[in-house]
Structure 1
Amino acid sequence: MQPTLLLASRVSESFHECLKARFRVVEATAAGFDAAVAALAPELAGEIRIVVAFGSTHMPGASLARLPQLGLICCLGSGYDGIDLNYAAERGIAVTNSPGANARSVADLAMAMGLLISSVRNLPAARHYLEAGRWQGNAGERMQPVHGLTGRRLGICGLGAIGLNVARRAAAFDMEVGYHGRHVRPEVPYPYFDSIVQLATWADVLVVSLRADAGTYHAIDAAVLQALGPDGFLINVSRGTTVDEAALLQALKTGRIAGAGLDVYEHEPAIPGELFQLPHVALTPHIGGSTLEAAQEQEACVLANIEAYLRGEPPRTPVSP
């Protein structure tokens, strides 16, 4: 008999078919993991051994307790901030993620022709300028020149897989790179800063690529934004909770920082309407890892973890509290 798997997030059609061919797939029929699990018949809930979902899916211990045979949670993507890891560890439920699978794609959005250039070079305003018919060639009105990227200082907050890929891409722009993280990484050539405030004081652009957990909640606060300064830019491609969104709005509205590029938001999918009205702000709908290449790597990692679990082997990419 095929193992029973609860699919709690939307996936590509091809991956959906792949899962159905190998497992008895139960699809979440209600919005939210709590409601989806509560809607399951007790006998069906008792057969589920595997859950596949995005790591941001809120999975509290009380809901996981309704799945008595659950042994594996596979998170699509590198994040796992929605999972009650302590409860999972107590129950012996293995939790896995897909580390690095979307790192290059997220870094691409942060850097090359993505949020950084769009925000610093004010590409949204340039488009509006064109749409308004204001461009009349060199003889007409010109947009105000802005600082470029060459020679500017890029501070990376969180030098994991995404942060390292951002650093490599920054080299192509001849930018200086510095970083702050939980640990010093002696193998990299970039200077380390003891605090985020120190990094922001040094940087012209601050890229946030932190893992979301209790320790990084509002890590980018009013003090960090004040240190970044009126010529500084904030780029966030991690999780919205790492930035105090109210403080960011205030800093943008009062000119305490020059601009921002945001792919993630504190209360997704809600986005403060004021952000759309501000200059030098580039916005995207959490698409950093949304490339075909990243999806394929994530899906392959999920399948490898499931197959290892079913063979009684340790998971390939485990995470722990």
Structure 2
Amino acid sequence: MNQSPILLMAPLYGPTQQALESRYTVHRLWEAPDAGALLASLADGCRVVVTTGGKGIDAATMAKLPKLELVACFGVGVDAIDLEYCRKRGIAVTNTPDVLTDEVADLALALLLATVRRIPYGDRFVREGKWLKGGMPLTQSLGGRKVGIVGLGRIGSAIAKRCESFGTTIGWYGPRPKPGVKWQHFGDVVELARWADVLIAACPGGPATHRIVSRAALEALGPDGIFVNIARGSVVDQDAMVELLGNGKLGSAGLDVFDDEPNVPQALIGMENVVLQPHMGSGTHPTRTEMGRLVLENVAAWTEGKPLVTQVS
């Protein structure tokens, strides 16, 4: 066993954590009776931290690990990691891109279809015996709609291709146009929302996208508009979204992410025009296995002095 100590910030997918702990000396921060004492005990030896996209690691914690050289993230989003501090310290950061792209894009489409066709409501309609008393009210259709995507990275592009197969028209927002992209580019999220029937957030989290889907954007989307979020809770003005969904100024929403997970506003839970998921974008066994493989490969590469497999630039 490699005795180089590794600090694990949060639980990982079971097989990944088992593999990590079978190969290295791993210290579980969340189980430590005294986190400060554990960090102090690792200060002279810990060169690797493994964390998750949701947990990340802040500058204050990394400052207590002066020998730290690598933060390996189980997840594609690194907004919870203080990247600026890592740059200043020369700490490498890795993540798990590509392997979860299709899974997250699939869930975005599932949320969109479930919202448009009111699938959760239909399920309850049957289970509660309401069908015996008459037919369910008609729903809307997806075909022919204009879909605006906020963030056209790997996941946003995969969502756009899926939506296009349903006969929709695609527009997108990004800080700058991308060469070779055939879909219409908008330089402003409010402008995109005003054009769109559906707005899908697929951008990274972090300060640059904080509340990028603003109250103004949601109001521009309008009372028949649909908002889908598989990005981060931080990218949308959640309070405004809840208010507008409640007063009919925003039509409906399909949400996989929230501001203060796992705490979801009670108002959302009570709404019939909202479909909710517990941050399950990459939540399948095959995808989590592949994410774990990349984490383990990055840690092994660092240990063996080889180039990192998926280093964040």
TM-score range, shorter chain: over 0.9
Distance (whole Å) between structure 2 residues aligned to residue 93 and residue 209 of structure 1? 27
Q: Is the 8 A contact 2:6 2:27 kept in 1?
A: yes
Aligned to 2:7: 6
Give how far 1:101 is off: 2.1
Distance (whole Å) between structure 1 residues aligned to residue 268 and residue 28 of structure 2? 36
Which secondary structure does the structure 2 equivalent of 1:192 belong to?
Answer: strand
Q: Is the 8 A contact 1:9 1:53 kept in 2?
A: yes
Residue identity in the other structure for 2:153: G
**1:190-209 matched pairs, under 5 angstroms:** 190-209=183-202
Q: Deviations over 1:47-96 (max 9, x none)?
A: 21111111231522121111122110011111111111121112111111
Aligned to 1:268: 261
Aligned length, in residue pairs? 312
In the superposition, the TM-score normalised over structure 2's length comes to 0.94
Q: Is the 8 A contact 1:232 1:257 kept in 2?
A: yes
Aligned to 1:175: 168
Distance (whole Å) between structure 2 residues aligned to residue 8 and residue 65 of structure 1? 15
Distance (whole Å) between structure 1 residues aligned to residue 48 and residue 39 of structure 2? 16
Residue identity in the other structure for 1:115: L
Residue identity in the other structure for 2:122: A
Which secondary structure does the structure 2 equivalent of 1:4 belong to?
Answer: strand
**1:154-303 matched pairs, under 5 angstroms:** 154-303=147-296
Distance (whole Å) between structure 2 residues aligned to residue 105 and residue 210 of structure 1? 15
**1:135-146 matched pairs, under 5 angstroms:** 135-136=131-132, 141-146=134-139
Distance (whole Å) between structure 2 residues aligned to residue 79 and residue 252 of structure 1? 27
Aligned to 2:19: 18
**1:61-80 matched pairs, under 5 angstroms:** 61-80=59-78
5+ residue gaps, structure 1: none
Change (3 A) 1:41 1:127: closer
Aligned to 2:114: 118
Give how far 1:41 is off: 6.1
Give how far 1:240 is off: 0.3
Residue identity in the other structure for 2:115: S
Distance (whole Å) between structure 1 residues aligned to residue 257 and residue 249 of structure 2? 21
Which secondary structure does the structure 1 equivalent of 2:130 belong to?
Answer: coil
Which secondary structure does the structure 1 equivalent of 2:47 belong to?
Answer: strand
Q: Is the 8 A contact 1:78 1:101 kept in 2?
A: no
In the superposition, the TM-score normalised over structure 1's length comes to 0.92
Q: Is the 8 A contact 1:76 1:97 kept in 2?
A: yes
Change (3 A) 1:41 1:154: closer
Q: Is the 8 A contact 1:49 1:69 kept in 2?
A: yes
Change (3 A) 1:88 1:36: farther
Distance (whole Å) between structure 2 residues aligned to residue 316 and residue 182 of structure 1? 28
Distance (whole Å) between structure 1 residues aligned to residue 76 and residue 101 of structure 2? 8
Aligned to 1:96: 94
Residue identity in the other structure for 1:301: L
Distance (whole Å) between structure 1 residues aligned to residue 212 and residue 260 of structure 2? 16
Q: Is the 8 A contact 2:16 2:293 kept in 1?
A: no
Q: Deviations over 1:92-134 (max 9, x none)?
A: 11111112221111111110xx211111111222223223312
Which secondary structure does the structure 2 equivalent of 1:40 belong to?
Answer: helix
Aligned to 1:306: 299
Distance (whole Å) between structure 1 residues aligned to residue 71 and residue 170 of structure 2? 36
Which secondary structure does the structure 2 equivalent of 1:135 belong to?
Answer: helix
5+ residue gaps, structure 2: none
Aligned to 1:129: 125
Change (3 A) 1:58 1:161: same
Residue identity in the other structure for 1:148: S
Q: Is the 8 A contact 1:56 1:83 kept in 2?
A: no
Distance (whole Å) between structure 2 residues aligned to residue 293 and residue 41 of structure 1? 33
